[in-house]
Structure 1
Amino acid sequence: MTAPFLSLKDAIVRYDRLTAVDGVSLELRRGETLGLVGESGCGKSTIARAIVGLQPLTAGTISIEGETLQDVSSQRRVNLQRRIQLLFQDPAASLSPRLRVQSLLAEPLKIRRAFVPENWARIMAVAESIGLGEQLLPRYPHQLSGGQARRVALVRALAAEPSIIVADEPTAGLDISVQGELLNLLRALRDRLGLSYLLISHNLNVVGRVTDRVAVMYLGQIVESGPTATLFREPAHPYTQALLSVNLTLDANRRRERIVLSGELPSPSNPPAGCRFHKRCPLAQPKCASEAPTLQAGAGGRSVACHFPLAAKPAVMPQPIAG
């Protein structure tokens, strides 16, 4: 195994009395696509913002190629974090409505003081290769389709010559054919440019098809992680099994019994004692209410935070993405 390019260690993010991220550790290697999944409000987007420097950590560390950001100079930190670019969940909202596409694409180069003919030609070549022709350059963001806005955001990110792309719900709001085109594009760019991706998504079909590994979050913590194929086939945590049970598939022979969790997701400002999932877990035992499980590494790159991990039941692998 190669050393991780990006590493989070015991990351904590607090907002007043609310702890959005509580002791999360993640690793991302060169050329790898890591999926991050979980219910809304579990802390996925907060992790994304912390990685790119938009949200400071309350505790813990972020390291890039072995350099801990908290230990380097401010200029070195800026240079390191520039190698990580974020694709926002709402691409149109991330684009200034006052600027035309041409200005939006030039802006990252101007910020870096790298707006020279050869760099502009490189950006235009990338834009053309992903379907952003010159006819779109005079348009404003509100004149773009959802797919076009995502492509503009992607080219802007690539203008910084990143090594890592953090994609927050990159297929949200797109129809299935456009989803397929975008995912194929991301994979092609990964192979051509040697990129790594942290892919945050609710769409398990997308996660199952394009990621190498998956980390599952619940209420600010990682409860399970491992190779995608293994985790989807043999979930070890009851929450992961419930999450996968509602994954949609058109093949009736590949569907599994749906697991409906009781109760509501607890508030991050007042998480339950012990295992945070125990009040909704159909397999909870007295120990779960009093003792918090730790993330334990197992065979084959698997890790699970559960006192009584499942004897795995086969899950449904996602259907192929069209396009």
Structure 2
Amino acid sequence: MTTPALALDRLTVRYQTLQAVDGLSLQIQPGETLGLVGESGCGKSSLARAIVHLADSEGGIRIDGEDVGDRMRRDARFVAAKVQMLFQDPMASLSPRMTIRKLLEEPLRIHGRFNRENWAEIESLAADLGLGQQILGRYPHQISGGQARRVALVRALAVKPRILIADEPTAGLDLSVQGDLLNLLAGMKQRFGLSYLLISHNLNVVGRVTDRVAVMYLGQIVESGDTATVFRAPAHPYTAALLSANLTVDPARRRERIVLKGELPSPHNPPPGCRFHQRCPHVQDLCRGTAPVPTRLDDGRTVACHFPLAGSGAERKAELA
């Protein structure tokens, strides 16, 4: 079997009394784009920050089969050399005191890779993305938001990482610019052999560019699998509700809207049993007291639900995931 590019084993992220990520396990295969979706506050960004060591975590993180904790004790730059992140606000991720040239040089210098050949590659990549010599001498406040996203991308690719985490990469962009950015990311994936973790609220984007999708609710994954399979026939009621709210101009693809009652429970005090049971339109007594175990279906997807939706293939439940 292929060694996953990234493997998370029971990863947990806590902020004092808040458990943002709760025992989450997930894998991304080499060359794969995994979409991560869920409501605001479910822990998506905390998960991303834990992977790149911007948040403390418990549990296992392996990159290309290597335990991150072991490697970081020997080389503090190990994760940064393997995983880079595109932040939701690219302008805020760029130091206002450095020119674009210095910002692009910095990762090469940190990793001891700054030389004429490597810098020539960065200049060539920047030029390919529309960042000419005149841009390199400017400061972040002197460039547009679209240019800032391209600078952040070139900066992330400077150390030739294996995995790129993109947190809401299309947020705040109009449709034409979104398309350009997604095409750009697809091209970079092929060019550099990247694996992607794409975090987004935009289900149309997730449906278009990801190979697999993971649905997150209150710090846990409730459903994951092939994107086309999950989008066509969701097995978890929460996934079905998310997809029903997705806007589409094609009448044939519209779903009957599922309106969830109640508010999202507080991550400070999650409910017992299934965490979704207070809002689930299909709740039964078992859900209120017993947490569902993630179960693998015959079609390869995994769902954490006592009573998966009919028509999703859930009646063919197989071994525990």
Q: Same fold (TM over 0.5)?
A: yes
**Aligned-partner Cα distance in 1 for 2:245–2:76:** 41
- The question of 1:240 aligning with 2:232 is answered no
What corresponds to 2:182 in structure 1? 183
Q: Deviations over 1:234-254 (max 9, x none)?
A: 100000000000111011232
Moved more, 215-224 or 251-260: 251-260
- The question of 1:22 aligning with 2:22 is answered yes
CA contact (8 A) 2:160 2:192 kept: no
CA contact (8 A) 1:146 1:173 kept: no
CA shift, 1:107, in A, is: 1.1
Q: Deviations over 1:260-307 (max 9, x none)?
A: 100110110000010000000000001100000011111222000000
Residue identity opposite 1:37 in structure 2: V
Q: Deviations over 1:129-164 (max 9, x none)?
A: 122122211221122222111000000000111011
CA contact (8 A) 2:61 2:69 kept: yes
Q: Deviations over 1:175-198 (max 9, x none)?
A: 111110110011111111111100
Q: Deviations over 1:301-321 (max 9, x none)?
A: 20000000001379xxxxxxx
What corresponds to 2:252 in structure 1? 253
What corresponds to 2:85 in structure 1? 86
What corresponds to 1:163 in structure 2? 162
CA RMSD of aligned residues (A): 1.4
CA contact (8 A) 1:246 1:259 kept: yes
**Aligned-partner Cα distance in 2 for 1:20–1:73:** 23
Number of residue pairs the alignment of both structures matches: 313
**Aligned-partner Cα distance in 2 for 1:247–1:225:** 18
What corresponds to 2:71 in structure 1? 72
Moved more, 128-137 or 2-11: 128-137
Residue 3 of structure 1: SS of its match in structure 2? coil
**Aligned-partner Cα distance in 2 for 1:274–1:311:** 21
**Aligned-partner Cα distance in 1 for 2:134–2:293:** 54
**Aligned-partner Cα distance in 2 for 1:146–1:236:** 38
Residue 199 of structure 1: SS of its match in structure 2? strand
**Aligned-partner Cα distance in 1 for 2:20–2:311:** 29
Residue 301 of structure 1: SS of its match in structure 2? coil
CA shift, 1:3, in A, is: 2.2
**Aligned-partner Cα distance in 1 for 2:143–2:249:** 32
Residue identity opposite 1:150 in structure 2: R
What corresponds to 1:102 in structure 2? 101
> What does 1:96-175 align with in structure 2 at a 5 Å threshold?
96-175=95-174
Q: What's the TM-score once normalised by structure 1's chain length?
A: 0.94
**Aligned-partner Cα distance in 1 for 2:117–2:72:** 30
> What does 1:23-38 align with in structure 2 at a 5 Å threshold?
23-38=23-38
Change (3 A) 1:163 1:3: same
CA contact (8 A) 2:36 2:200 kept: yes
- Stretches of structure 2 lacking an aligned partner (at least 5 in a row): 314-321
CA shift, 1:78, in A, is: 2.6
What corresponds to 1:293 in structure 2? 292
CA shift, 1:77, in A, is: 5.3
- Stretches of structure 1 lacking an aligned partner (at least 5 in a row): 315-323
Q: What's the TM-score once normalised by structure 2's chain length?
A: 0.95
What corresponds to 2:302 in structure 1? 303
Residue 257 of structure 2: SS of its match in structure 1? coil
Residue 242 of structure 1: SS of its match in structure 2? helix
Residue 178 of structure 1: SS of its match in structure 2? helix
